[in-house]
């Protein structure tokens, strides 16, 4: 992969957000450090109700220079002076507040917000509001096809996303015919659709040119009738119509990738299924059999590897959802690895995960909190937090999230009840001693050997026995 070396004149795109009517302090700081780095990552943490998702939405509108009448939000957002070339929203939750546009599945006809500052949404929610693994599948395939001209240049990051979830970097894409394509009315619709794509700024000009070229070659009812026959034959043979492998796309015999893209964009073709190969044994598995965590990782980092450009602002909402703690711990390093390869990148994320927050180094990022006062009408403010790089999750929960323990409240309640009896130093009956001893043994047996609390509970048994002997 080509590494873009940032210049010494690099300036962060987003330093603060100025709004009115959203419940934030008028000028909310996103970054406070002066020694900015290319690829700077800001992570916001907060209690529920502190508007993290709304903040990310406002940052998206701010970065794209949209007025609130365009965004549909009620309030005022001051547009950014220096705007990114692209805004990418990475979402781990279907309840995010990002605009319902910019999904990378080819079937979506929702227009880009603007041609100059394109918005890309990568997450579990479709443009119609529906959510699920199927959307991740469609978006990933759409990104592969739309970015096919530069797959080899992006293969290092892309291959790493496949490998992390235990897959060979390849995918077989099976299509199905959703509507009749060999009619004059359908051909007229294709010509009109290409004009819509061009006017909406969907894709680069070169992509539209390639689609026009495909339409000029196949753009008649007779030619499309032949294409339909080839498609049906391919489907009946059980062949994959599109295959990604070795950093490139190939199609089944007699088909054209540009025409297949156009037919998918128009809704005439839909994804029937995808198939992958396991890295451990090479066995082929259906995309339906991948876990939500695998699709989340592959969709997020595979999609980001395909869609990122220089001077991209990346907004991340609750990335920890569906991810195993080990994968959460790897999230920031992988994000940093991809972003650092493109000049002028910046990341703003919101999370509840201590494993993600503790992955931020002060050399290239900062953890900040969103908080409001005790009054219900208090505004949300942004404050920098301690450097938590390398902290364990319990320390982050305690010092940063304000959670004095990560243990179950019921577990703590039972322990505290026993410790209260011991702290009183009053004699207890033999029956009470037996009950408390049984409770302590049960609690200690539920803990792993490496947990310091286990030794405390075992030691407490002796204290309980001493109180029983006093009676």
Confidence of residue 8 (pLDDT cuts 50, 70, 90): very low
Q: How confident is the model at residue 113 (pLDDT cuts 50, 70, 90)?
A: very low
Query: 114 versus 387: which is more confidently predicted?
Result: 387
| Residue with the larger pLDDT of the pair 105 and 173 | 173
Angle between helices 184-200 and 257-266 (to 10 degrees): 90
Judge whether residue 1 has pLDDT over 50: no
Taking only Cα atoms into account, the Rg of the chain, rounded to an integer number of angstroms, comes to 27
Average pLDDT over residues 144-164: 95
Crossing angle of helices 430-445 and 452-470, rounded to 10°: 170
- What is the arithmetic mean of pLDDT over 109-122? 61
Q: Exposure of 141 by Cβ count < 10 A (0-12 exposed, 13-18 middle, 19+ buried)?
A: buried
- Residue 177: its pLDDT value, please? 92
Is it the case that residue 393 has pLDDT exceeding 70? no
pLDDT at 389: 55
Locus of tokens 């001693």: 433
Q: Which of 142-146, 288-292, 453-457 has the least mean pLDDT?
A: 453-457
pTM equals 0.80
Give tens-digit pLDDT for 303-318.
999 999 999 999 999 9
- Asked if the model's pLDDT at residue 276 lies above 70, the reply is yes
C-alpha 456 chain-centroid distance: 41
pLDDT confidence band for 108 (50 / 70 / 90): low
pLDDT at 402: 55
The mean per-residue pLDDT over the stretch 397-407 comes to 54
The token duo for 53 is 């998702």
Average of per-residue pLDDT across 248-262: 91
Place 4 in a pLDDT band, splitting at 50, 70 and 90: very low
pLDDT value at 272 more than 90:
yes
∠ CA 116-300-278, rounded to 5°: 135
- Quick one: average pLDDT of 111-116? 43
Q: Going by CATH, does the domain composed of 1-162+290-403 fall within 3.90.120?
A: no
- Which of 36-45, 99-108, 191-200, 462-471 is predicted most confidently? 36-45
pLDDT digits (tens, 9 = 90+) for 207-246: 778 888 888 888 788 888 888 999 999 999 999 999 999 9
Q: How confident is the model at residue 290 (pLDDT cuts 50, 70, 90)?
A: very high
pLDDT over 80 at 265, yes or no: yes
Q: Stretch 272-280: mean pLDDT, rounded?
A: 97
What was the pLDDT predicted at 407? 62
Q: What mean pLDDT comes out for the span 398-423?
A: 67
- Ordered by start, the domain boundaries in the chain are 1-162+290-403, 166-281, 409-470
Compute the mean pLDDT over every residue in the chain, rounded to the nearest whole number: 83
Q: pLDDT-derived band of residue 395, with 50, 70 and 90 as boundaries? A: low
Question: Which of 62-68's residues contact partners 24+ apart within 8 Å by CB, and which partners?
Answer: 62/14, 62/17, 62/19, 63/13, 63/14, 63/87, 63/117, 63/313, 64/113, 64/114, 64/117, 64/119, 65/117, 66/113
Amino acid 117: pLDDT: 43
Q: In what order do the strands lie in the sheet with 269-277?
A: 248-251, 242-245, 171-177, 269-277, 284-286
pLDDT digits (tens, 9 = 90+) for 80-100: 888 899 999 999 998 899 988
* Kind of pairing between the strands at 312-317 and 86-91: parallel
Averaged pLDDT for residues 57-70:
82
* pLDDT range class, residue 420, cuts 50, 70, 90: confident
Residue 215: per-residue pLDDT: 82
Name the residue among 364, 359, 311, 368 with its Cα closest to residue 333.
359
pLDDT more than 90, % of the chain: 41
């Amino acid at each position: 992969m080509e590494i873009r070396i940032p210049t010494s004149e690099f300036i962060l795109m987003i330093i603060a957000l100025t709004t009115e009517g959203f419940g934030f302090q008028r000028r909310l700081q996103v970054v406070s450090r002066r020694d900015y780095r290319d690829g700077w990552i800001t992570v916001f943490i907060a209690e529920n109700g502190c508007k993290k998702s709304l903040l990310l939405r406002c940052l998206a509108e701010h970065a794209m220079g949209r007025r609130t009448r365009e965004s549909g939000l009620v309030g005022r957002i001051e547009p950014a002076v220096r705007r990114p070339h692209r805004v990418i929203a990475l979402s781990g939750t279907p309840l995010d507040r990002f605009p319902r546009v910019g999904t990378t599945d080819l079937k979506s006809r929702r227009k880009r917000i603007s041609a100059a500052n394109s918005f890309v949404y990568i997450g579990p929610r479709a443009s119609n509001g529906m959510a699920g693994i199927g959307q991740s599948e469609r978006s990933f395939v759409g990104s592969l096809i739309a970015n096919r001209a530069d797959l080899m240049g992006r293969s290092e990051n892309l291959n790493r996303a496949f490998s992390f979830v235990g897959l060979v970097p390849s995918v077989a894409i099976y299509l199905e015919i959703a509507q009749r394509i060999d009619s004059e009315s359908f051909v007229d619709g294709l010509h009109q659709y290409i004009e819509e794509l061009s006017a909406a700024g969907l894709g680069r000009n070169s992509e539209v040119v390639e689609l026009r070229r495909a339409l000029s070659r196949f753009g008649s009812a007779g030619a499309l009738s032949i294409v339909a026959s080839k498609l049906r034959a391919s489907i009946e043979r059980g062949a994959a119509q599109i295959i990604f492998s070795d950093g490139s796309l190939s199609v089944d015999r007699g088909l054209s990738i540009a025409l297949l893209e156009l037919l998918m964009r128009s809704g005439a073709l839909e994804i029937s299924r995808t198939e992958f190969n396991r890295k451990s044994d090479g066995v082929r598995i259906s995309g339906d059999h991948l876990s939500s965590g695998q699709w989340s990782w592959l969709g997020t980092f595979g999609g980001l590897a395909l869609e990122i450009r220089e001077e991209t602002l990346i907004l991340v909402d609750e990335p920890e959802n569906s991810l195993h703690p080990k994968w959460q711990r790897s999230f920031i390093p992988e994000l940093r690895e991809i972003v650092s390869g493109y000049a002028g990148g910046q990341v703003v994320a919101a999370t509840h995960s201590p494993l993600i927050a503790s992955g931020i180094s002060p050399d290239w990022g900062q953890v900040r909190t969103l908080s409001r006062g005790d009054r219900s009408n208090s505004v949300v403010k942004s404050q920098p937090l301690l450097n938590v790089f390398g902290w364990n999750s319990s320390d982050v929960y305690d010092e940063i999230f304000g959670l004095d323990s990560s243990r179950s409240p019921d577990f703590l309640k039972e322990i505290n009840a026993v410790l209260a009896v011991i702290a009183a130093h009053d004699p207890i009956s033999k029956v009470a001693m037996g009950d408390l001893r049984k409770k302590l043994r049960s609690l200690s047996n539920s803990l792993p050997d490496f947990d310091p609390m286990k030794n405390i509970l075992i030691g407490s048994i002796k204290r309980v026995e001493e109180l029983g002997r006093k009676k």
